[in-house]
Structure 1
C-alpha cells in the first residue's frame, strides 16, 4: 500500500475557505501537491542518538554527564491555545507524579507544538503528552520515549478513521464518493483530514477536487452533528469519537452508517526524554502506568468513561502506519522554531 502525507494545511484553509463552507474552484493538481505527492524519504533517529535494541527509540546516553536528574521535573500535555485548561485538567497526574517521584513537578504552558518538541530536545521538558502525529517527529528528533497511550473506547489505545453517512444514504463504500461531497474536519487532524485524503488517493484513486468535493466542518463534533441531522453527505471522523457521541446521546445508532474503516492508529502518547537518568526514567515509567484517575476531574474528560488508566505503548508497532504515511509523502522530520 502506498501512502502519502497531507502538507500545507494552512495554505489549504487560505485557498479553500473556512469551516462549514464547501470548497470552491478546487484545482486538482494543487490539491494533489497539498496531499503530498512528493519524493519519499526514510526518516530515522537523528545521528546523535543510539538504538542498540532496535526498538526505534533513542537509548539513554552512555556518558553520565549527559544525563538529567533535575530537582524539579517539568511536564506538559499536547500544546494547545487553551494551555491553561490542559494544565488544570491534568493536575491529578501532576499530583500523582510528585508523590510517586518524591520531587516537585511543574506544568509547562505551551501553545505551539514545535515549542513543545524543542523543549524536550533541549532538556527543558522532561515528561510530556503528545498527539498521535507528533510522536514520530518527537522520537526521531527530540529523543522522546513513548511509555503509554490514552485508552480508546474499546480499551486498546487505538482508533480508526471511518467514513460515516446518514442511515438512509445510498453510499455503500469509498468508491461511491465519486461525484459526492466529503466533509473533513481541519488540517491538523489525522483522522479528519490527513488519513482520509491519503487513503482515498492511494487505495481508491480518488483525487480531491477532481473526483469528489469537500468541505471543512472545523471539528469531529461538528462533522458528527452534520451526519446526525442530515446536513452532510459523508464525513471522515475518528471512530472513538463516534462511540462517545452515541454514549452521550448526541448521535443515535439509527441515524448513521459506517461505510469504511481504516487500519488502526494509536491514540495520544505520554513519555519522557531519553536523557533522563535511567533510574529516574524507570520510576517515571512505573508512575505513568500505575496512575488511575478514577474519581478525579480527569475521569470522563481525557478518555472514555470507564477507562481510567493509560495503555502501554509499543512505538515500533503502534506508530508503524503513521511513519509509513510520513515517509511515503516525503515528510522529513525537523523541529523548527522553539
Structure 2
C-alpha cells in the first residue's frame, strides 16, 4: 500500500515529466510527418537505397513518418530547405555553406566519422592510368569533368586549392562541364568525354572509384571492365570538413535534439542500415556545428570573388 510520502514523490515525478510529454506531443501534432532530402552524390537508385533506410530508422525513433526525397541536384536541396519543404537535409560542405550564405535558416547537427578516424575528406583530380597525364600541368587545355556547382570536392575545393598553386581552373583547362554527380564525373572520364575528373576521396580504401568497382560500374566506352588501379590521382586537396546532416532552425528545440540523438544512436540501434550509408566505411556519427563550416564559407567567398574578377 502506498503511504502519503510515496504518493507525494510519485506526484512530483509525474509533474516533472508532464512538460516533456506535452512538448513531445506538441511537436508531433505540428509535424505528423517530416521530410528528409539528400544531395545526389551517386545515381538515384543507389542514393535512394542508402538514405531511405535512414528515413525509416528516423521514423521508428521519432514516432512520426519520415519521408525520403532525392533531389535532382544540389541546389534543389538548398531551395527545398529554404521553402521549408525539407526539414532534415544531407548536404555536402559547400552546398551547406551556400545555403547559409544565401539565407537558408539551417543548422548542422551531425556528420560521419570514417573508419580511418577522419571526419573530413579530400578533393582529387583523377585521370585514366593509361593516359599520359601525371600532373595538373600536363592537363593544360584538356577537358575537366566537375560534379555540381555546389559540390565541395567536385567544384569549390579544386578551384580554391588549385588557385593556391597558381592554376586558374577556367583558363587552365580547355573545357569544363558539370557531370551532375560524383559517379557521373567518373563515367565521363571512363568513356572519354573528359580527360580528368574532380571527385571526393574519403580514403585510399573508400572512394567513388572503389564503390563503383564493387557495383560493376567501371566500364569504358568499349565495355571493358576497369579496376581501381586503372585510375591515377594527379592532385589532392587539403582536407575539408565532412558532409553535414542539417535541420531547419525553425524546428522545435526538442525535435531537433530528438533527431540529433537518434542519429548519434543509429550505429548501435540499427548497425546494418547505418553501415549501408557508407558500405561499412563509417564508424559513427559525431556532433558538429556551424563553426566547423566557416572555412568552407571563406572558400566559397574566395571563389566568388575570383569568378567576378574574371
Distance 2:112 2:120 in 1: 8
By how many angstroms is 1:97 displaced?
2.8
Unaligned runs of 5+ in 1: 1-67, 332-338
Residues 8-44 of structure 1, C-alpha deviation per residue, up to 9 Å, x if partnerless? xxxxxxxxxxxxxxxxxxxxxxxxxxxxxxxxxxxxx
Distance 1:256 1:86 in 2: 24
Distance 1:147 1:157 in 2: 13
CA distance 1:155–1:77, shift in 2 (3 Å): farther
CA distance 1:145–1:171, shift in 2 (3 Å): same
Distance 2:48 2:212 in 1: 25
Distance 1:87 1:171 in 2: 35
By how many angstroms is 1:309 displaced?
4.3
Q: Does 2:168 match 1:206?
A: yes
Distance 1:192 1:308 in 2: 24
Distance 1:84 1:170 in 2: 34
Residues 68-115 of structure 1, C-alpha deviation per residue, up to 9 Å, x if partnerless? 8342252322267x99996775443334334433x3234275753344
Q: Does 2:78 match 1:118?
A: no
Q: Secondary structure at the match of 1:107?
A: strand
By how many angstroms is 1:225 displaced?
4.1
Which protein has greater RCO, CA pairs closer than 8 Å, 6+ apart?
1
Residues 204-248 of structure 1, C-alpha deviation per residue, up to 9 Å, x if partnerless? 23352x433124372433443454577743222222213423544
Q: Does 2:272 match 1:295?
A: yes
CA distance 1:282–1:152, shift in 2 (3 Å): same
Once the two structures are overlaid, the 10-residue window that deviates more, 210-219 or 260-269, is 210-219
TM-score (norm 1): 0.60
Distance 1:89 1:211 in 2: 37
Contact 2:146 2:155 (C-alpha < 8 Å) held by counterparts: yes
1:307 to 247, 257, 282: 282
Residues 266-277 of structure 1: pairs in structure 2 closer than 5 A: 266-277=241-252
Bigger helix fraction? 2
Distance 2:159 2:300 in 1: 13
| Structure 2 match to 1:282 | 257
State the number of aligned residues.
255
By how many angstroms is 1:303 displaced?
1.9
Residues 45-67 of structure 1, C-alpha deviation per residue, up to 9 Å, x if partnerless? xxxxxxxxxxxxxxxxxxxxxxx
CA distance 1:315–1:127, shift in 2 (3 Å): same
| Structure 2 match to 1:65 | none
Q: Does 2:131 match 1:164?
A: no
CA distance 1:153–1:171, shift in 2 (3 Å): farther
What root-mean-square deviation, in Å, do the aligned CA atoms of Structure 1 and Structure 2 show? Answer: 3.7
1:75 to 35, 49, 69: 35
| Structure 1 match to 2:140 | 178
| Structure 1 match to 2:88 | 127
Larger Rg: 2
CA distance 1:229–1:277, shift in 2 (3 Å): closer
TM-score (norm 2): 0.65
Unaligned runs of 5+ in 2: 1-25, 202-206, 219-225, 306-310
| Structure 2 match to 1:35 | none
Q: Secondary structure at the match of 1:310?
A: strand
Q: Does 2:57 match 1:96?
A: yes
| Structure 2 match to 1:54 | none
Distance 1:168 1:85 in 2: 29
CA distance 1:147–1:252, shift in 2 (3 Å): same
Contact 1:162 1:260 (C-alpha < 8 Å) held by counterparts: yes
CA distance 1:73–1:83, shift in 2 (3 Å): farther
| Structure 1 match to 2:197 | 235
Q: Secondary structure at the match of 2:300?
A: helix
Once the two structures are overlaid, the 10-residue window that deviates more, 286-295 or 194-203, is 194-203
